[in-house]
């Protein structure tokens, strides 16, 4: 896997990435999941001792005009490496953002000193549900509506304003890439991750998200498992205090 610089991604927060003074704090980077954006971490970010760095991944929100990735996770890994720069970071990812974080840690171990992933998908497993992937012949806008209604519900989709719905529909290509991430094969070997790993899931999450996280915890030699009581897949939104502590645990492990 090779790296290349990100272009025009919307990046916010964090300290000065050019600060290379001795003793400068290690930066924490938060990576969002499928059909999400950096703003979903805003309540978590306010609870952290140091401001994290966050960004909209290519094809989403304010990075909508950056060409979506077209080959599994390679472009997303390259984007994250470009944001990390030459100062190793702590990376915390939600859902497919966690898969990006783990893949980067495996292929570029010198860039990440600690990694945390909340309910990363494992689409390469034979039991992973087909409805969490792109269905045969499905158009990007169809994937968006199906994914949104499955995750949030039909009433929530119906309540969206026309502009909000159109905004989500415009992210269809990026969503399809996310849903196919790692579908053909596992994007990393667990034994290649040298950094400490924190994995998490919510007790109210779907059984496949729980199973995926538990299996990864067994496969990763350096993994610690944390469970957020009462949380669903979107714990960073609904359980900001607990998710902030999840991030802080990854920071302390660095």
Strand order in the sheet with 89-94: 10-13, 53-56, 28-31, 89-94, 112-118, 197-202, 223-228
Q: How many residues does the chain have?
A: 254
Task: Determine the pLDDT at residue 4.
Answer: 41
How do residues 26-65 score in pLDDT, each as one tens digit? 999 999 999 999 999 999 999 999 999 999 999 999 999 9
Q: Is the pTM of this model over 0.85?
A: yes
How do residues 231-251 score in pLDDT, each as one tens digit? 999 999 999 999 999 999 999
Q: How far apart are CA 52 and CA 15, in angstroms?
A: 8
Token representation of residue 132:
């969490």
Rounded to a whole number, what is the largest CA-CA distance in the chain? 54
Tell me the percentage of the chain whose pLDDT exceeds 70.
93
Closest Cα partner for 122 from 203, 68, 188? Answer: 188
Confidence of residue 21 (pLDDT cuts 50, 70, 90): very low
Cβ(121)–Cβ(187) under 8 Å? Answer: no
- Does the pLDDT at position 75 exceed 80? yes
Is 7 exposed, middle or buried, given 0-12, 13-18 or 19+ CB atoms closer than 10 A?
A: exposed
Taking each helix axis from N to C terminus, what angle separates 172-179 and 140-151, rounded to the nearest 10 degrees? Answer: 70
Q: How far apart are CA 207 and CA 125, in angstroms?
A: 14
* 161 Cβ neighbours under 8 A, 6+ residues apart: none
């Amino acid at each position: 896997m090779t790296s290349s610089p990100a272009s025009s991604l919307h990046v916010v927060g964090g300290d000065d990435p050019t600060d290379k003074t001795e003793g400068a704090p290690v930066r924490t980077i938060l990576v969002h999941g499928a059909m999400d954006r950096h703003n979903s971490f805003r309540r978590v970010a306010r609870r952290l001792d140091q401001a994290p760095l966050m960004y909209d991944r290519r094809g989403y929100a304010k990075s909508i005009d950056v060409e979506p990735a077209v080959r599994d996770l390679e472009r997303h890994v390259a984007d994250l490496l470009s944001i990390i720069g030459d100062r190793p970071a702590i990376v915390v990812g939600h859902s497919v953002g966690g898969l990006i974080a783990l893949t980067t840690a495996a292929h570029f171990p010198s860039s990440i000193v600690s990694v945390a992933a909340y309910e990363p998908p494992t689409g390469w497993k034979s039991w992973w549900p087909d409805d969490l992937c792109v269905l045969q012949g499905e158009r990007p806008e169809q994937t968006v509506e199906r994914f949104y209604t499955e995750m949030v519900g039909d009433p929530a989709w119906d309540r969206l304003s026309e502009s909000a719905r159109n905004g989500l529909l415009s992210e269809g290509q990026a969503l399809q890439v996310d849903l196919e991430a790692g579908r053909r094969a596992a994007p990393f070997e667990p034994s290649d991750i040298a950094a400490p790993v924190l994995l998490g899931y919510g007790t109210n999450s779907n059984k496949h998200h729980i199973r995926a996280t538990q299996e990864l915890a067994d496969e990763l030699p350096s993994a610690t498992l944390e469970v957020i009581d009462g949380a669903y897949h979107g714990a960073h939104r609904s359980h900001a205090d607990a998710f902030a502590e999840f991030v802080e645990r990854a920071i302390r492990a660095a």
